[in-house]
Structure 1
Amino acid sequence: MLKQRRKPAWILFVLIQAFLGSCIGIFALSGYQIERLPAATYINDINIGGLDFQEASVVLNDYNDLLMRKGRVEIAVNHDRYTISYDQIDGRMDVDETLDKIFNELSGNSINHLVVGENARTVHEPVVVFNTGKLSAEIENIFSQYGREPVSDSYRIENGRLVYTPEISGIRADYTALERRITAHIHSLSQEALVIEQDDPEIFVAFSSDNGEDKEAFKFIVSSAHIRLAETDRNEEEGILEGLNGSIIPSGEMVQLSKMLDLSGLTLEGRQDLVNRTATAVYQAFLPIEGITPVNRRPSEMVLPYSEPGLEAVISGENGDLVLENSTGQTLMLLCEIRDKSLHCYVISPENIPSGVLVAHKKDVVEPPVIYSVNSDLKKGETRIVTEGREGFTIHVERVIGNDRGTLYTDRYDPVSRVVEVGDSPLQKGSK
């Protein structure tokens, strides 16, 4: 009975000794430093198996010399190809660092090699060094051409219809992502082209111009007007359109023509007339809207051929301008087009606001006085009209919105004398 009890104790002792021996062996292998690389050791496609540190250094230095002379990074973007030579970025393999890393790694994994065998293929990445600043400059030089600025959303008028064009996003290259991807390609020592698709969202990032701000959407044409244009230079007309189109007038601010157009140079032929017709079109487009008040508007001294009296606005004098106050409670936009030789102006708003029509009432008509002038070339009793003259009158301008009617202002037009030439003075008739 006593002998049978001692056997398990001896067996346990033997097992403990075996375990301790195994541990000692494992620890010994863990600290083992290899002198030569296993037969199937590669740096990417370069076989350095069976070589010691110095022999592997010779092989890699030879390859490094070739790499620095002829190595390149080829980048393909769609059909475009670009090359960055290793020389441009001071690129090379750090041979000592690469081999130190491999020898240390394999020495620390001696047990693994013992298990999988000497001929198991191991592939290691080289330590490649280069000037990151030079690489960044080359990347920016290549990829900056693929960026584009965003095109803001826009409104325009086509044949009296409001047309909205949504924003087109801009594209910018993510240079951080590009550097990361190209750096990985360099470390692979691959001489194959690195393909980057132009629709790759990681590389080419879409961005907007609105900076996250909410924009008002203009939906309603609340008022419009048109004025016939005289024969003018087409470039002048285009300049007028460019200045007016898209002007934004927030509520509480002023519609001011001098902020839209250059009002200088009015002495140039046709310029004064074009500016006055433009001012009149803008004036007649805004004034029917409830909440629009004239602040600086000058009437003409005479009736104009393109506008009903009382509804014109002329730019004259040293500080001539057209200024209207926007108290509508809405942001307004001015859009224009030239169609059928007329300047058409439209006022656009995010919300439909009250607007009506302008009515000009002529009152207090005064006949023109007659001035007689004696012309010796005329026979007695013969007359000739030199100028017809013009009656004087008062214009009361009203804004009518639905059933509401309100007087805005009164304009007065002085009479212009009628000049008549006669053969003898009418003052002498009946005199002795």
Structure 2
Amino acid sequence: MKKKQFISKILIYILLTFILSGPINSMAVEEPIVISQEIYVNNINIGGLTKDEAYQKLKEELNKFIEEKKINFELENISFSAPYSAFGVFYDIDSAIKQAQQYTIDRLNDNTSVTSPYYIELPMSYNENLILDYASSVSSKYSKLPVNAKLEYVKDYVVIKKEEYGINIDEIELSTNIVLAILNLDESVKVPYIKISPEITSEKLSKSNFKIAGFSTPLKSLDANRTNNIIIAANSINGYIIKPKETFSANKAFGARTKENGYKDAPIFVNGKVEPGLAGGICQLVTTLYNTVLYSDLQVIERKPHGKAVTYVSPGRDATISGNAIDFKFKNTTNYPIYIQTYVDTKKKQVTVNFYSQMPSGNTKIDISSYVYKKTSTHIYSKTYKKIYVNGKLTKTVLVSSDSYLR
């Protein structure tokens, strides 16, 4: 009987030991109360802290690191920077805490008191959309189209303004470089770009600064609005470069003739009568341009005279435009770019258009003449001729136009 009681006590003891030790080990495996000593997350010691204490310490120190960290960008001779916060950089602190807890559990389960340092390297995470948006904003700010070299009129001299190269930033490659910089903790990134060459360089223009033709018309009207309109239109094409074989359109070059662009109401011809109209007066600039084209011996593609003769040129020498319905077009038939210079001299009361290009190889002179050959009670009729002289000899006479005007 005693033997049986002893055996029963032994069994009860073993059973109690199993029951008591089981929950203790189970609790240790589930989650330790305190993180083991000598555990570091990105060199931050969280050993001996509770889960919440470790989380708070990591949050403060890692966030401080993120706030102070920035990336410096280099683009040619331009430099700028952005904080890590612009890219939504963050650390997954929960992941680090779980790793620290698991290591603590493993130590407890191994029943070891050895506390050799344990290091957890926590990588940075980032917001891909914010990085793409930032790359796009950099591209929008710093990408630029090339600017052609141009001729400028300075105190009776023509000088060359140097060209500017364009920049096309590669947004995708820039985004990739930002990600790599974040992951590698790099502090500088070179902005990837492609350099875009302008079509017309100062080298090319250096051969195109010869005045090949020019024409002026008198600014007879004292209407301030009319003069204002001519000046705006003249400024819109001053410096315009017509490439070889390119067709110039006055409507396209002038752009929208609206009040928003500064144009005002001034006298215009409507069915032979004078009425106020928006951008009135710019046809004088078109006429001046037309005559410069004639003296340059370029090809006129489209030209229409006024319905009634104007006062600033003789009949047959004028040209008009109207909205998008009537245009003045001509073609650069040469092998060199042509630079348009326009200006309005309010003191001398003149509207002037000059063309600059490469000096012609031969000695050619153009003479334009027009005359009224017929008059009726309602109309006048004119003819305009172009005479071409080479080395002082007349080599060709061309009928430019036959026009009719209301009287």
Give the shorter-chain TM-score range. Answer: 0.5 to 0.7
Instruction: Within 5 Å, give how 1:69-218 maps onto structure 2.
Output: 72-75=66-69, 82=83, 84=85, 88-93=88-93, 94-95=95-96, 126-133=121-128, 136=131, 139-140=134-135, 147-150=142-145, 152-159=147-154, 161-167=158-164, 169-170=166-167, 172=169, 174-185=174-185, 202-205=189-192, 207-210=194-197, 215=200, 217-218=204-205
Structure 1 179/74 Cα, relative in aligned 2: closer, same or farther at 3 Å? farther
Structure 1 137/259 Cα, relative in aligned 2: closer, same or farther at 3 Å? closer
Instruction: Decide which of 249, 255, 259 is 2:252's aligned counterpart.
Output: 259
Q: Which amino acid aligns with 2:234?
A: L
Say whether the 8 Å CA contact 2:86–2:130 is kept in structure 1.
no
If the length of structure 2 is used for normalisation, what is the TM-score? 0.56
Instruction: Decide which of 282, 287, 299 is 1:280's aligned counterpart.
Output: 287
Say whether the 8 Å CA contact 2:230–2:285 is kept in structure 1.
no
Residue segments in structure 1 that go unaligned for 5+ positions in a row: 1-38, 104-117, 186-193, 197-201, 372-389, 418-432
Query: Matched residue pairs, number?
Result: 322
What's 1:305 paired with?
Answer: 311
1:60-93 CA-to-partner distances (Å, cap 9, x unmatched) read 656434457766333556898746299x545224
Say whether the 8 Å CA contact 2:96–2:120 is kept in structure 1.
no
What's 1:227 paired with?
Answer: 217
Offset, 1:278: 1.6
1:213-259 CA-to-partner distances (Å, cap 9, x unmatched) read 75463341433323333444365235413543455545445333333
Give secondary structure in 1 for the equivalent of 2:327: coil
Paired with 1:135 and 1:363, the residues of 2 have a C-alpha distance of 71
Paired with 1:205 and 1:96, the residues of 2 have a C-alpha distance of 39
Give secondary structure in 1 for the equivalent of 2:334: coil
Q: Which amino acid aligns with 1:328?
A: T
Structure number, greater radius of gyration: 1
Say whether the 8 Å CA contact 1:232–1:270 is kept in structure 2.
no
Give secondary structure in 1 for the equivalent of 2:131: helix
Say whether the 8 Å CA contact 1:64–1:92 is kept in structure 2.
no
Instruction: Decide which of 324, 327, 330 is 1:321's aligned counterpart.
Output: 327
Aligned-residue CA RMSD (Å):
5.3
Offset, 1:353: 6.5
Paired with 1:415 and 1:313, the residues of 2 have a C-alpha distance of 12
1:115-153 CA-to-partner distances (Å, cap 9, x unmatched) read xxx99xx99671224244255267559867863534523
Q: Give the share of equivalent positions with the same residue, in percent.
A: 12
What's 1:109 paired with?
Answer: none
Offset, 1:398: 1.8
Residue segments in structure 2 that go unaligned for 5+ positions in a row: 1-36, 73-78, 105-114, 258-264
Say whether the 8 Å CA contact 1:95–1:127 is kept in structure 2.
yes
What's 1:296 paired with?
Answer: 302
Instruction: Decide which of 395, 398, 404 is 1:408's aligned counterpart.
Output: 398
What's 1:189 paired with?
Answer: none
1:335-366 CA-to-partner distances (Å, cap 9, x unmatched) read 43334443332334467566855424567978
Offset, 1:331: 4.4
